[in-house]
Amino acid sequence: MTERIYNFSAGPAALPLPVLEQAQQDLISLGDTGIGVLEHSHRSKAFLAVYEEAEALVRELASIPENYKVLFLQGGASSQFFMIPMNLLKKDQTADYLVTGSWSKKAVKEAKSFGNVNVACSSEDKNFSYIPEEVSLSENPAYVHFTSNNTIYGTEFATEPTVPAGVPLICDASSDIFSRPLDISKYGIVYAGAQKNLGPSGVTLVIIRDDLIEQGPTDIPTMLQYRTHSEAGSMYNTPPTFGIYVLGQVLRWLKEQGGLAAIQEKNQSKAGKLYGYLEQSKLFNATAAKQDRSLMNVTFVTGDADLDAQFIAKATAAGLDGLKGHRSVGGMRASIYNAFPEAGVDKLLEMMNQFEQEHAS
C-alpha cells in the first residue's frame, strides 16, 4: 500500500487516519447492517443513528444552548453568503460586514443584492495581512458578519468582535471551527463548510439561534428558508449522508483528543513551533501581523519567488504536499488543521532549517 504523506492542503484537507479506516469498513457494511453507509436510506434506522450521533457531538463539543438548532446543509459557505441576507436582511436595513479577506468580500457582494451593507472595517489596504482593531458599526445593523479565520492570508480573530446587545453576530468559521473553544451564546449564526476541520466537502454545518430561523420570509424558495431545514431536521430533501457520517466520525475523534480546549493546546503547540522558527529565521518571514496570526494557516515567504518555488519543490519531493501559498499572497502556506499531525510540522521545520542553512548568505 502507498505510504501516506504530509498533506498541508488548505481544504479539502487531512483527516484523522482512524476515521478513514473506520469509513473503509463502513463503506461495505455500516455496523452489522449488511448495507454500506453510502447505500443506506437517509430514513433508515441505521442512518438516523449516525445523524443523531453527529448532531449530539456538535452540541456536546461546543456546549450548544437549547435555543440553537444544528443544521447540515449543502452548497458550502458560499451558499450561506446569500442565504443569510436573503433570510435576515430587508431592503431598507443595513448589515455590517468586517472585511478581512477574499471570503468576506464575497459575502459582502452577495448581501448587497438584498439590502444595505456597511463595511465596518477592512484590512485590504495591507493585502489583508492583519485584523483591524477599529470597527465602525452602523446605528442599528440587522446583523454583524465576520470571517473568524482567513485561510488565504493566514490571519485569525483572537476573539469575536463585540457587538451591541440584541444585534446578531454571524460568523463564517469554515477554516477554524472547533479548533478552539467558542461561546455559541455570543453568536446568532456560526456556519462552516466541513472540508477543513470537520470532514469532506459537500456538507455545511450551520448553528443557528431559533429566533433567527423564524425571522426569514416565507415567499422565498423552500430550500432557502432555514425553517424548512430546521423543521425537517435537515431531511426536507435527501441530505449528504456520507458527509454527515464522516463529520460525526471526525467529532468522535475530536472528543477522544479531549475536546475543543485540548485541541486548542495542540494547535497552539503546532503553530507555535512554526511561528517561533519564523521569528528568528533569517530566510523565511511570516506574512501576517504578529498579533493576528492564524493557528490554522501559517503563511510565509522568503521574499524571492524563485527561492519560494525551490523550497516548495524540495518539500514536495520529500513528501510535504500542498505548501504552495495562494496566488494572492505567494510564497508558502502550511495549513495545519486539527487533524494535521505534529510530526508533519516537525518535518517541515527540519526542511526549513536545512534549506535556510543551504541558502545562508
The answer to whether 325 touches 301, Cβ cutoff 8 Å, is yes
102 touches a copy of itself (CB under 8 A):
no
Q: Compute the distance between CA of residue 90 and CA of residue 99 in angstroms, rounded to an integer.
A: 21
Closer to a copy of itself by Cβ: residue 220 or 305: 220
Active-site residue, selected from the candidate residues 26, 96, 172, 176: 172
Give the total of residues touching a copy of itself (CB under 8 A).
Answer: 72
Q: Is 172 annotated as a binding residue?
A: yes
Binding residues among 318-357 for a copy of itself as defined by CB under 8 A: 319, 321-322
| From 28, 49, 56, 305, residue interacting with a copy of itself (rule: CB under 8 A) | 28
42 touches a copy of itself (CB under 8 A):
yes
Within 13 A of 226's CA, how many CA atoms are on the CB side?
A: 29
CA quadruple 53, 57, 60, 63: dihedral positive or negative?
A: negative
Count of beta carbons in the 10 Å neighbourhood of residue 210: 14
Active-site residue, selected from the candidate residues 69, 103, 308, 324: 103
DSSP state of 333: E
β-partners of residue 204 are 73, 193
242 touches a copy of itself (CB under 8 A):
yes
DSSP state of 184: G
243 touches a copy of itself (CB under 8 A):
yes
Torsion of CA 224, 228, 234, 235, to 10 degrees: -110
Q: Is 159 annotated as a binding residue?
A: no
313 touches a copy of itself (CB under 8 A):
no
141 touches a copy of itself (CB under 8 A):
no
Q: In whole angstroms, what separates CA 243 from the centre of its chain?
A: 15
1 touches a copy of itself (CB under 8 A):
yes
For the question of residue 196 being annotated catalytic, the response is yes
Binding residues among 147-186 for a copy of itself as defined by CB under 8 A: none
316 touches a copy of itself (CB under 8 A):
no
| From 134, 219, 280, 357, residue interacting with a copy of itself (rule: CB under 8 A) | 219
Q: What's the Cα-to-Cα distance from 210 to each of 49, 65, 266, rounded to whole Å?
A: 24, 11, 33
Q: What's the Cα-to-Cα distance from 118 to each of 12, 82, 84, 105, 106, rounded to whole Å?
A: 32, 16, 15, 12, 14
The answer to whether 23 touches 38, Cβ cutoff 8 Å, is no
For the question of residue 253 being annotated catalytic, the response is no
Binding residues among 120-139 for a copy of itself as defined by CB under 8 A: none
35 touches a copy of itself (CB under 8 A):
yes
Considering only 23-31, 48-56, 163-171, 347-355, which stretch makes contact with a copy of itself by CB under 8 A? 23-31
> What x-and-dash track marks residues 50-69 binding a copy of itself by CB under 8 A?
--------------------
Q: Compute the distance between CA of residue 281 and CA of residue 346 in angstroms, rounded to an integer.
A: 15
**Least distance (Å) from a copy of itself to the CB of residue 7?**
5
For the question of residue 103 being annotated catalytic, the response is yes
Residues with catalytic function: 103, 172, 196
Annotated binding site for L-glutamate: 43
